[in-house]
With several copies, the nearest count.
Chain A
């Protein structure tokens, strides 16, 4: 009786049972395995990932950086309408892709093109949205990657529902759902974490805290000790990790994925990183942040750090570097070529996918457009414009 009175009368999710709820709080310091100078920063809770995994991660980082640079160039050349670069956040992008198994799913945002590509989507397909040829350029089921989402935090709920369906069928899929620091302020963030916790689902919520939501600094998003402190309010563990240390990211995200797969429920991981470039090419970040701040973060570059570390450990040499650079260049060239070609666009596509069966109204509207184009002497197939 006393018990019922003092605590909620009903058993809560399996997680905090018995255990001290304070274990759900993040540590005071983000987890880090390689320090800014490239040296090992040992951590009792998280073993250093294998040399092999680190080498794969490094390849990913090199390619990621090259893709970001290439996409920026394509914007300048007018081949992409817009590009939200993840320059500076590549460690997060690559770790997110590497910790997932083939059957797992990724739910990315507009900023996560590199993670999408690292999961197997071709760079050209990933850029269809940003080029303007369609709203999304890949089949989500092929690579287990949801469409990149723009309405902030909405994809977190899709990730939760996706995991719920998998659990319903007894599959061991883990879902990794990404969002930014600003997105944690949206109602959908709250509802997603809560649903995941109440239904004890295998979802890893991965917040890339890059200090800004467009121009708005983190201090305007939260007064909490950290974003990871939100986790306890849902009854899931919250963890903080150095977002420019790919080793730490692999360890912390990897543990959360393993735990989720083993039936341990969801987790919230906050990575401390920084968006080195403007929000998109349309943005002017000199309006809201000091160059000195950006410069300070340049010195913590995730590539440099891992390169130093691998080189020091003899896991990387100049020849290896050269080979990786060439591989990345091949990817960039393919992307450039793909985007320099104009897609063959068919105006009828506007009407094809709205419903699985075209309604009489849509058919009528298409016929009107078709007649219009025929009258104007435009080939109905469209072609580049």
Chain B
């Protein structure tokens, strides 16, 4: 696993096998659970709440054991009302707490949309910084788990378009841990999108690494074309890169990690170095984060581009029913098809 240069490792001392004591292999779900526990432990202002986060430990078990370990005071169930969850989190943040709330699925975050857009995002600006909103809204996001309607949407565009919100979407257990810790520590409100499909993926996690919001990660080096993705699509891109490599094409993969603020520096430098780019994301493409990345890359790399920047996204349709999911979701083949359109020249310099 590549760890971005600019994440800060806090020295936890080496363990017997030479690895830092804080390193262990775990699932993304476990990494998130660990991040919540560590945050609760290290800051008395942190409280975790939402629907079913207590005794049940969350429908995805991300809050498993927190109530048992830290008590109802620090992790508790609320009435079933998402605007209520986010609205009370706003009030708690006004009064010195750092609420971390869970909304069960993208579609079930929507009842809280007014609170998020009109207050979570704006309170700091409204009060000239006198009242900051150090709160985190965790939302399991995306498809790939065969879920029925309303359980597989990708709604990052709604949040990324809203000024004042930080939007984070990790793709590795390490980033899940480090960025959730960073999100909870942030004085600004963070929409923390957890790709459901990756909950059970595993990787090494060094809990001494503190994530830095706003920095993309080079997930794979490459020289011919740059793939830009986040969340579950990073794995799709890595798979495509692997196949492409076997066909002699060197594919670079950027994991955006933080959607807003966006890391233009890393992305622009990457695309300038290869001259070709494809943006990959699950969400419908129209007016999406993928469109934003595409247009940014176009504008900033125009002189360096050998071909139009392409994007591979979900269709502009409601998310597919379970049995249609494989047709809907971008996969490595679709990414490779897009790469193939990027005006490749043959050995004579003619377009292939």
Q: Do chains A and B touch in the complex (CB under 8 A)?
A: yes
Listed residue (A215, A282, A347, A355) with the most chain B CB atoms within 10 angstroms of its CB: A355
Task: Choose among A159, A345, A356 the residue that contacts B324 (Cβ–Cβ < 8 A).
Answer: A345
Which 7 residue pairs spanning A and B have beta carbons closest together?
A161-B91, A157-B87, A132-B322, A161-B88, A359-B261, A191-B84, A215-B56
Known: A165-B96, A192-B84. A354 touches B115 (CB 8 A): no
> What 1/0 mask marks residues of chain A from 272 to 284 whose CB sits below 8 Å from any chain B CB?
0000000000111
Question: Is the Cβ of A161 less than 8 Å from the Cβ of B125?
Answer: no
Q: Nearest CB to that of B214 among chain A residues?
A: A359
- Residues of chain A within 8 A (CB-CB) of B96 are 165, 169
B163 CB–A CB distance under 8 Å: yes
Q: With A160-B91, A161-B95, A162-B94 in contact, do A129 and B78 touch (Cβ < 8 Å)?
A: no
Contacts of A51 in B (CB 8 A): none
Chain A hits for B125, CB < 8 A = 135, 353-354
Interface string of B76-94 (1 = CB under 8 A from A): 0111111110111111111
Q: Which residues of A contact B132 (CB under 8 A)?
A: 356
- Among the 9-residue stretches B203-211, B239-247, B312-320, the one with 4 or more Cβ atoms under 8 Å from chain A is B312-320
| Interface stretch of the complex, out of B8-16, B17-25, B46-54, B218-226 | B46-54
Residue ID in chain B nearest A162 by CB atoms: B91
User: Can you list 22 A-B pairs, Cβ within 8 angstroms, ordered by A?
Assistant: A133-B323, A135-B148, A150-B148, A150-B149, A151-B111, A151-B114, A161-B88, A164-B91, A166-B95, A215-B55, A216-B51, A216-B80, A220-B77, A220-B79, A221-B80, A288-B56, A349-B324, A350-B315, A351-B317, A355-B124, A359-B261, A376-B333
Given contacts A161-B95, A162-B95, A360-B264, contact A353 B129 (CB under 8 A): yes
Complexed CA–CA distance, A292 and B110 (Å): 37
CB closest residue in chain B, given A346: B324
**Given A158-B119, A354-B164, A135–B326 Cβ distance below 8 Å?**
no
B148 touches A130 (CB 8 A): yes
| Residue in B57, B126, B129 whose CB lies within 8 Å of A287 | B57
Q: What residues of chain A lie closer than 8 Å to B333, measured between beta carbons?
A: 372, 376
Digitize A15-30: 1 where CB-to-B-CB distance is under 8 Å, 0 elsewhere. 0000000000000000
- Alpha-carbon distance between A355 and B163 when the two chains are bound, in angstroms: 9
A43 on the B face (CB < 8 A): no
Contact with A along B234-263 (1 / 0, CB 8 A): 000000000000000000000000001110
* Closest Cβ neighbor of B325 among chain A residues: A132
Contact present for B118 and A372 (CB under 8 Å) = no
Q: Which of B47, B78, B80, B122 has the most CB of A within 10 A?
A: B80
Instruction: Mark the stretch among A3-11, A68-76, A87-95, A179-187 that contacts chain B.
Output: A179-187
Residues of A contacting B130 with CB < 8 Å? Answer: 139-141
List residues of B whose CB falls within 8 A of some A CB.
Answer: 47, 51-52, 54-57, 59, 73, 77-84, 86-97, 99, 107-108, 110-111, 114-115, 118-119, 122-132, 146-151, 163-164, 166, 186-188, 214, 260-262, 264-265, 286, 315-318, 320-324, 326-328, 333-334, 337
User: Roughly how many angstroms separate A190 CA and B149 CA in the complex, as a whole number?
Assistant: 24
Residue of B nearest to A105 (CB): B95
Judge whether A352 is part of the interface by a CB distance below 8 angstroms.
yes
Cβ–Cβ contact A365 & B315, under 8 A: yes
**A356 in contact with B124 given A195-B79, A369-B327 (CB within 8 Å):** yes
**Distance A288 CA – B125 CA, assembled complex (angstroms):** 37
In the complex formed, the residue of A with least CB distance to B118 is A151
Provide the bound-state CA to CA distance between A81 and B22, in Å.
39
Residue on B with the closest CB to A168? B73
If A158-B91, A354-B124, A360-B264 touch, whether A187 touches B83 (CB-CB below 8 Å) is yes
User: Measured between alpha carbons, how far is A373 from B333 in the docked complex, in Å?
Assistant: 11
Flag whether A50 is at the interface (Cβ < 8 A).
no
Asked whether, in the complex, the Cβ of B323 is within 8 Å of the Cβ of A356, the reply is no
Q: Does A214 contact B (CB under 8 A)?
A: yes
Contact with B118, one of A134, A154, A169, A283 (Cβ below 8 angstroms)? A154
